[in-house]
Copies of this chain bind each other. A is one copy, B any other.
Amino acid sequence: MTEDARVDVDFGEDGLVPVVAQSAADGEVLMLAYANEEALDRTLETGEGHYYSRSRDELWHKGASSGHTQTVEAVRVDCDADALLYVVEQEGGACHTGYRSCFHRTVDGETVGERVFDPDEVYD
């Protein structure tokens, strides 16, 4: 594909688009976060998952502090071009709580996910 064919992503009024990160290895949905245009550009340029942190209000290179980076195998866009899917190889766990996936609980509060690291040993 030529660069001209890049889909015109709708970053919305706040400049952000929701991004689903999915494990390339087994399809597990790992997290939902947001990207601005810079984060998408960095992801495509570097092949590592970048987002925009709404809480810190800054570009977020996932795993920069924890080492739990994401190697992005594919970036997909949905039919309305207002949501992205990063298909990734996840180092360690995606969730800051130590679980592989942020979606490690049912809405009834039951833990169903796998804990893969101790956050006390990873974060200061």
> CB within 8 Å of B: which residues of A?
1, 3, 5-7, 9, 18, 20, 22, 26-29, 31-32, 40, 44, 74-80, 83-85, 95-97, 99, 102-110, 112
A22 partner residues in chain B, CB cutoff 8 A: 27, 29
Question: Given contacts A6-B107, A78-B102, could you give 12 more A-B pairs where the C-beta distance is less than 8 Å?
Answer: A1-B109, A1-B110, A20-B20, A20-B32, A32-B83, A44-B107, A75-B106, A75-B107, A77-B106, A78-B103, A79-B95, A83-B103
Whether the pair B112, A6 counts as a contact (CB closer than 8 A) is no
Q: This chain: how many copies in the complex?
A: 2
A78 to chain B: closest residue by CB? B102
